[in-house]
Amino acid sequence: MNGVALVVRGLVRHFGGVKAVDGVDFEVMPGECVALIGPNGAGKSTCFACIAGQQRPTSGQVLWEGVSLLGWSPRERLQRGVARSFQVAQVFEALTVRHNVQLALQVREGHWPAWRPLGRRHQPEADALLAQAGLGALANQEAASLPYGAKKRLELALALAGQPRLLLLDEPAAGLAGQERQALMQWVRKLADGGLTVLYTEHNMDAVAGTADRVLVLIEGRLAAQGRFEDIARDPVVQARYLGQTGLDFLPAGKVGHA
């Protein structure tokens, strides 16, 4: 595929009469960090779930490194380097933070762990991931007791435990505000700088500036625009159909041209 990592072609997902995704085409290059943005109900999560494998498209293709991802189980996807996170953080609530990561590392090795005590298995690697996630001090806490921001970081650490080459994140900073939100997006940026290919959905533009190399704007199931954040923010179609509805207060000052 001439170095293209992810190819989405003619992607359609209808629910009865609801055209959630209605013909979406885009590509992601290796090491690129791409944000799929748009208003609530635009079809971001549906489009994402078709790519990540939780939903089957009505029609269309999703190719990863030239091979169709459709029909692969989450396990097979992980084995081929594709990991995802969820809009609402999903972790193993009853386990400690460290055991969460140890378990994810064990799953990667192909041991199904239900009957196998975790003990100290993979502990150094788990602790390295927890340090990266800023969760070192919380390693022995039960995941259920974590503040939401820490849970989102743990979920990302679990995805990274699979050593993915493509990271799919559904609103990685959803439910986070201020410094926590910024820190998470900076971590995503750092992962992309380290060579990981990243595709993430986002509702607000503030998690896009400074993070995404490229932005895809989805409105009513179709791509309305794509490009660099700076250009997207000025795009009259995007302004009229998306930013105009949600307010412009989260855009950096001076970036918006008034047509």
Site for ligand ADP in 44-73 (CB under 6 A): 44-46
Residue 15 as a binder of ligand ADP (CB under 6 A): the answer is: yes
Residue 46 as a binder of Mg ion (CB under 5 A): the answer is: no
* Overall size of the chain counted in residues: 259
**Interface stretch with ligand ADP, choices 33-41, 159-167, 208-216, 237-245 (CB under 6 A):** 33-41
Taking a C-beta distance cutoff of 8 angstroms, is the pair 219, 241 a contact? yes
Round to whole Å and give the CA distance between 95 and 227: 42
Round to whole Å and give the CA distance between 83 and 210: 23
Q: Which of 10, 25, 41, 248 binds ligand ADP (CB under 6 A)?
A: 41
- CB environment 78-87: b (16+ within 10 A), e (fewer): beebbbbbbb
As measured in angstroms, the least distance from the Cβ of 48 to Mg ion is: 8
Secondary structure of residue 46 in the 3-state scheme:
helix
Residue 18 as a binder of ligand ADP (CB under 6 A): the answer is: yes
Angle, alpha carbons 27-28-32 (nearest 5°): 160
CB closer to ligand ADP out of 38 and 60:
38
Q: Which of 13, 22, 26, 45 binds Mg ion (CB under 5 A)?
A: 45
The pair of three-digit structure tokens given for residue 51, joined into one six-digit string: 């790519």
Query: With CB cut-offs between 5 and 8 Å by kind, which of ligand ADP, Mg ion, none does residue 42 bind?
Result: ligand ADP
Round to whole Å and give the CA distance between 161 and 29: 22
Site residues for ligand ADP per CB under 6 A: 15, 18, 20, 38, 40-46
Site residues for Mg ion per CB under 5 A: 44-45
